[in-house]
Each structure stands twice: as C-alpha cells, then as structure tokens.
Amino acid sequence: MKIGLMGGSFDPIHNGHLVLAEQVRTRFQMDKIIFIPSGNPPHKETMASKEDRYNMTKLAIEDNEYFEISRIELDQDHKTYTIDTVKRLQAMYGDSVEVFFITGADMMIDLPSWKNFDELVTICKFIGSTRPGVDYTELSDQIDALVRDYKADITITQVPALAISSTDIRRRIKYNLSIRYLLPRTTEDYIYTHNLYCDRRTIL
C-alpha cells in the first residue's frame, strides 16, 4: 500500500492543498492520501482551534473517496513531530505500507532540522511540490545535497500554479474581502458560521 501524508496546520485548508494532494495521488498511484491537521506544531502557532481546523479539513475532503483525515496529531497534548506520526501510522498499517510525506519544495531545505531526520529518511519518502515557472535552481542543489548526504528519497513535482495561501485567506477575511473559489464552499461556510478569523461577515 502506498500512502501519502498531507500534514499541516490547515488554518484554513484551501484548494491549493486539495489540488496538490490529488495531483500527487494520481501521479504516484497512491492508494490514499491522509490529511493530518497538526496538533501542537513545534514551529508554528495556529489561529483556529484544533476542532475547527479538523472540521474544516473534514468538510473539504468529503467528496473524494481517496482522501482521509486523521486525528493522530490533534489528540496529542504534547508537541507533535513528523517522525512520531510516521512511526505510529506504520504500526497501524504494517510493514508493507510505503509512506510518502508531501510538502512544499521550499520546506525541504529545513528537513535536517526536523526531529531525528536521519532516522526519518530511512522510513519515509518525500515529495516536494513546486509551481510551474518558479526557478528552483538553488533549491535543487540543496535537495541534491540531502540526497547525497542523508540518502534521502526526495522527488520534486510540479502542480498547477495556484497561488493560494492560508495566510492570505485569513487576511482577506480580516479585511472583509471575498474568499470565494479559494477554498471549498463547505469550508467557507463553516468559517463564517463559526465566525473564524473575523468579527463580522461582509458578502462581496
């Protein structure tokens, strides 16, 4: 079984996340993509609560039979790390599972700072995403060094140029700008129903 892990704060989840997950699933012929909202990430603070981020993600992926969501990090009280999550999932699915961690290509340069990275690369493969037209020459050199020095299995793939970010969505909500078509309508409705990221709603 080939499983792709989409970890992130999903604060909120948006169409860029979904496009990336689907493109990776089909290109690498994965059996499923598991979305893992972070619980207590060591390097990032979240704006919405754990439960709100879980609910938004669940709504966003409900129409894709190959997408699943896991609470494996949300239900942890302590800081959560990728290596611990991968080990727990491998214990759940057995030794035959092949695990791929999906992230932005620009995050790859920080991999050596991840907890127990030298061990992580022996049990998990990495897929980094880029947007067409972006020059990643310098980044490519850094990734080559990771492959050489750590024997990391890293593949870079391009996805359609969707310049969408959770940060921009939160900014748009704060200033009463439209977020329509940037994320699934079910997730958008959840945000406004639960008054996330703003004090009031303005329909544009």
Domain ranges of the chain: 2-162
pLDDT of res. 43: 62
| 3-state SS assignment for residue 193 | helix
pLDDT of res. 132: 66
Q: What is the pTM of this model?
A: 0.90
What lies within 8 Å, CB to CB, of 17 at 6+ separation is: 6, 8, 10, 35, 60
CATH, domain range 2-162: 3.40.50.620
pLDDT of res. 134: 67
List, for the chain, all residue ranges whose pLDDT scores fall below the cut of 50: 200-204
- Paired tokens of 57: 């993600």
On the 0-12 / 13-18 / 19+ scale of CB atoms within 10 A, 98 is: middle
SS (H, E, C) 25-79: HHHCCCCEEEEEECCCCCCCCCCCCHHHHHHHHHHHHCCCCCEEECCCCCCCCCC
pLDDT of res. 59: 98
pLDDT of res. 34: 98
What lies within 8 Å, CB to CB, of 138 at 6+ separation is: none
Contact 125/5 with Cβ under 8 angstroms? no
